[in-house]
């Protein structure tokens, strides 16, 4: 993320102060992200991507390909550590969806919220998805589609490594009126 973030910011003629002002983040935090000392959550990465005018998943790729097709092999996603998001198809430009692989921690983190919609599919293991206090247990094969402006957080609840596909669709300026609805 660091190389692209710094490069795009400089190409746009933006200072850290300007990006901090547009995102509501501190200059210090943004500097740490650029230097690889902090990895932002998806909601924070969305703020940064909007300020820079790039697709959020591109911030997780050091080499955007400009291609319209991307194949991601399972081996490319092996080694994703707990609590980390791994961008899928990060190099594809002009996407309207941003897919990630998440290996959630065992503890709930802070609530996150962002614009757009989110689709969560449990590939393996089991998780609890907390949608503003409404906790849903999702097992392998279960999914949930929800308005991402609802404060949400995820945690793993099984000894087996949980792997979750998270797809974000963010259309700036569109007011969403969907309600949390999970599918078994």
What is the pLDDT, as a whole number, of residue 83? 61
Q: What is the pLDDT of residues 84-105, one digit of tens each?
A: 778 888 777 667 788 999 999 9
Domain residue limits at 10: 2-60
Has residue 18 been placed in a domain? Answer: yes
Has residue 119 been placed in a domain? Answer: yes
Given pLDDT bands bounded at 50, 70 and 90, which one contains residue 81? low
Domain count, the chain: 2
CATH number of residue 33's parent domain: 1.10.260.40
- Between strands 126-131 and 152-156, the pairing is antiparallel
Has residue 39 been placed in a domain? Answer: yes
Has residue 78 been placed in a domain? Answer: no
- Considering the domain architecture, whether residues 179 and 125 belong to the same structural domain is answered as yes
Has residue 148 been placed in a domain? Answer: yes
- Considering the domain architecture, whether residues 108 and 54 belong to the same structural domain is answered as no
What is the pLDDT, as a whole number, of residue 158? 94
Has residue 75 been placed in a domain? Answer: no
3-state secondary structure the chain: CHHHHHHHHHHCCCCHHHHHHHHCCCHHHHHHHHCCCCCCCHHHHHHHHHHHCCCHHHHHCCCCCCCCCCCCCHHHHCCCCCCEEEECCCCCCCCCCEEEEEECCCCCCCCECCCCEEEEEEEECEEEEEECCEEEEEECCCEEEEECCCCEEEEECCCCCCEEEEEEECCCCCCCCCCCEEEC
pTM reported for the whole predicted model: 0.64
- Considering the domain architecture, whether residues 178 and 109 belong to the same structural domain is answered as yes
Residue 142 predicted with pLDDT over 90: yes
- Considering the domain architecture, whether residues 48 and 110 belong to the same structural domain is answered as no
As a whole number of angstroms, the distance between CA 99 and CA 77 comes to 12
- Considering the domain architecture, whether residues 53 and 123 belong to the same structural domain is answered as no
Pick from 60, 76, 92: which residue ends a domain? 60
Is the model more confident about 6 or about 61?
A: 6
Q: What is the pLDDT of residues 31-61, one digit of tens each?
A: 998 888 888 888 888 888 888 877 777 666 6
CATH number of residue 108's parent domain: 2.60.120.10
Has residue 68 been placed in a domain? Answer: no
Residue 75 predicted with pLDDT over 90: no
Has residue 158 been placed in a domain? Answer: yes
């Amino acid at each position: 993320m660091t190389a692209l973030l710094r490069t795009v910011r400089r190409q746009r003629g933006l200072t850290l102060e300007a990006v901090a002002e547009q995102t509501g983040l501190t200059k210090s935090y943004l500097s740490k992200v650029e230097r690889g000392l902090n990895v932002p959550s998806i909601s924070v990465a969305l703020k940064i991507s909007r300020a820079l005018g790039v697709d959020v998943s591109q911030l997780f790729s050091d080499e955007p390909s400009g291609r319209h097709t991307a194949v991601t092999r399972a081996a490319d996603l092996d080694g994703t550590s707990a609590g980390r998001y791994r961008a899928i198809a990060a190099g594809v430009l002009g996407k309207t969806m941003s897919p990630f692989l998440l290996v959630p921690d065992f503890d709930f983190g802070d609530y996150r919220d962002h614009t757009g919609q989110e689709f969560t599919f449990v590939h393996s293991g089991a998780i609890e998805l907390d949608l503003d206090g409404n906790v849903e247990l999702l097992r392998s094969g279960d999914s949930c589609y929800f308005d991402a402006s609802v404060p949400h957080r995820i945690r793993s609840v099984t000894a087996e490594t949980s792997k979750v596909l998270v797809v974000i669709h963010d259309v700036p300026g569109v007011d969403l009126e969907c309600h949390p609805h999970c599918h078994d």
